[in-house]
Every structure is written in C-alpha cells, then in structure tokens.
Structure 1
Amino acid sequence: MEVREAGLGDLSGIVELHSRARVAYYGAGGLPIGEILTPELAREQREGWAAAITSARKRVRVAVVDGALAGVLAMGPPHTSGLDPRTTAQLYQIHVDPELWGRGVGGALHALFVRHLADEGLALGVLEVWERNTQARAFYTRHGWRPDGTSRPGPAQTPYLGMRRTTP
C-alpha cells in the first residue's frame, strides 16, 4: 500500500470511492439509496473534496493498493469554533473502498492522523460519526476514541456523534 498526498487528478476517484463507502455505511444503517446518492450530493461531494485538496489548512491523503484508490483521509482544523486549532485537529473523514474493509487501509490512514497530532504538537483529535454507523464507531473506539457528549442532526433523524482522542 502506498499513501500519498491527494491531488486534483485524484478527485474523480475520491468522489467515486466516497460514494461507494456512503452507500455501504448509510445503507447498512437503513437509509434508502435514493437519499444517499443524489445529484445535489454528488455535486457537493465534488466541490467539497476539490476545496479540501486545494486548501492550505486541510490535508487530504489517499491510500493506493495495486494501483487503485483504496482509501482517503481528510483532516485539518476543527469545525467547531469552541475548539482551539492550536491544540486540536479534526479527522473530517476516512473512507475505504468497502471491498477492502478489514484489510488495514483504514488503520493506516488513521495512523497518519495520529502522527499528524504528534507532529503538530496537538493534544486533542475530534471527529463526528453517524450514530447508526456501528462499524465506524467500533473502529474508532478500538483506536482510542471516546464519545464526547456532543451531537448534531444527521440523516434519518439519527445524529452524528462527537468523539475525541487525546494524544499519549
């Protein structure tokens, strides 16, 4: 597996991978495919990933296995204004091709985020995960994340839950 910085040449592959991952985890949580894949969401994904890739403050990394895009990581300053970007970073997203779940791609991308915290001298990592995405919640719990009591509305009247991880 190769992990490298994402470029705009990766944009279509990232959007496709993100869509496959969304169908897998939102679908497993009972969300109908028509609510997961819409033209509006596809446009928003493409614009959001392009902005993240070109941002001076955000970092996007891709994992490549056998020449194919296998996963993507996005991270940067916290979205919440109450968190200090001098001490905190947010793990915005990790998406792995569902056919490669359980093969270490997500773990490798997560390790990059933890390394980012250490390299930048940041004491805290934060993220949000959809409550029904039990696989992701278990993944993050295994990697030292704990619920922080925050939430915000999500699809299907199911919230996104806040989690945090302190650096060792």
Structure 2
Amino acid sequence: MISERMTGSRLIRSVLPAEAETVAALHARARATYYPDGLPDDGTDWVAAWRAAVERPGSHVLCVVERGRIVGLASFRTPEGAPADTVKLFQFHVDPDHWRGGIGTALHAACVEQWRADGRRSAVLDVHVDNRRAQAFYAGRGWEPDPENPPAEGDHHLYLRYEVSGTGE
C-alpha cells in the first residue's frame, strides 16, 4: 500500500481517521459543483462514512496534501460480489479551488499504481450524469463505458471501466 509518495511539492498518502471531517468537507465542496439545485441532503453522516471508509479492512483512502492541506482524495476497494481482481473507485474528488493544477492526474496515477501493485486487472466506477467535468477527466485517462453495466432507465449515473493492466498511466 502507498504509505507516502511525493510528486513535486505534493504528498500523496493514506487518509487518517482523524481527518474524516476535513475529507467530508472537501467531498461536499466538490460534489456541490455538479448539482444544479444544490447538494441533496439524503441524511448521510458523511464524516462517519469517511471515517468508516478509512478504517474498513481492504479499503484504501488516499489524499493529496499540498502546503499542509488536503486538496484531493480517492477511495477504492473490491466491491462485494466482484471478482478479486476488480477494484471500484468509490470516491474521487479534487477541491474545486485546485482544479486544473494536476492534482487529479497525480492522484489517479497513484491509484493505478496501487491497483497494479495489488494485482487488479480492471477498475470500475460510477459518475453522476451531470458531472461532465469528471466524465471528461476519466475519458482522458482511458476509462470507457462499462459494457456489463449499461445505464438503467431513470438512473443518474454512468458506469465506467478501466483496464488496469493496460498501457495507460
């Protein structure tokens, strides 16, 4: 597992349970950008959810730290019922104040590095249909529509797949 990795002036490392509130706040700022009517309140306690993700066995939560501040994060693990060589990218966010600065690219590369080290062959994710920025980001890194998971009627997510063993990042 990547414990720490320097990329220029950025540190990529695992998130600590005590950082769940900071991570939840970044998550909310990033998600709010693609909900035209504001971030929906579904009652989820995101601080508790992030703490659980960090502490869950088999789960990885990476963050990018720049000038002492968490500016990007990614959460992934093998989803229940999936083959052991598949990983799901559950969350991937960059603080909107830091977009277009290479943080997402560095974080994605760290994820792929970890997936390869773990022997993963493919990665999957779902992205909100209104999040065009993320869709473009993923497409630029080789993610493609998942043929095993076409969008269902009324679903607000697109399902993408990435071949980890490929020649991408």
Q: What TM-score does the superposition give when structure 1 sets the normalisation length?
A: 0.85
1:46 aligned partner: 47
CA contact (8 A) 1:74 1:92 kept: yes
CA contact (8 A) 2:71 2:94 kept: yes
Correspondence 1:23 to 2:65: no
| SS of the residue 2:34 aligns to | helix
CA contact (8 A) 1:151 1:159 kept: no
What's the offset of the Cα at 1:152?
Answer: 6.0
What's the offset of the Cα at 1:25?
Answer: 2.2
CA contact (8 A) 2:20 2:48 kept: no
Alpha-carbon RMSD: 1.8
Identify unmatched segments of 5+ residues in structure 1. none
Task: Report the structure, 1 or 2, having the larger helix content.
Answer: 1
Quote the Cα distance in structure 2 between the aligned partners of 1:151 and 1:40. 28
Alignment partner of 1:144 out of 119, 142, 145: 142
Aligned pairs for 1:1-168 (under 5 A) are 1-26=10-35, 30=36, 32-33=37-38, 36-38=39-41, 40-41=43-44, 43=45, 45-79=46-80, 81=81, 83-85=82-84, 87-149=85-147, 150-151=149-150, 157=154, 159-166=156-163, 167-168=165-166
Change (3 A) 1:91 1:39: closer
| SS of the residue 2:100 aligns to | coil
Work out the number of aligned pairs and report it.
Answer: 155
CA contact (8 A) 1:151 1:160 kept: no
CA contact (8 A) 1:132 1:158 kept: no
Instruction: Give every structure 1 segment of 4 or more consecutive aligned residues whose post-TM-superposition deviation is greater than 6 Å.
Output: none
Identify unmatched segments of 5+ residues in structure 2. 1-9
Counterpart amino acid of residue 26 in structure 2: L
Quote the Cα distance in structure 1 between the aligned partners of 2:101 and 2:13. 18
What's the offset of the Cα at 1:127?
Answer: 0.7
Quote the Cα distance in structure 2 between the aligned partners of 1:62 and 1:153. 32
Q: What TM-score does the superposition give when structure 2 sets the normalisation length?
A: 0.84
Quote the Cα distance in structure 2 between the aligned partners of 1:127 and 1:88. 11
Quote the Cα distance in structure 2 between the aligned partners of 1:92 and 1:37. 18
What's the offset of the Cα at 1:151?
Answer: 4.9
| SS of the residue 1:63 aligns to | strand
What's the offset of the Cα at 1:47?
Answer: 2.1
What's the offset of the Cα at 1:38?
Answer: 2.9
What percent identity do the matched residue pairs reach? 30
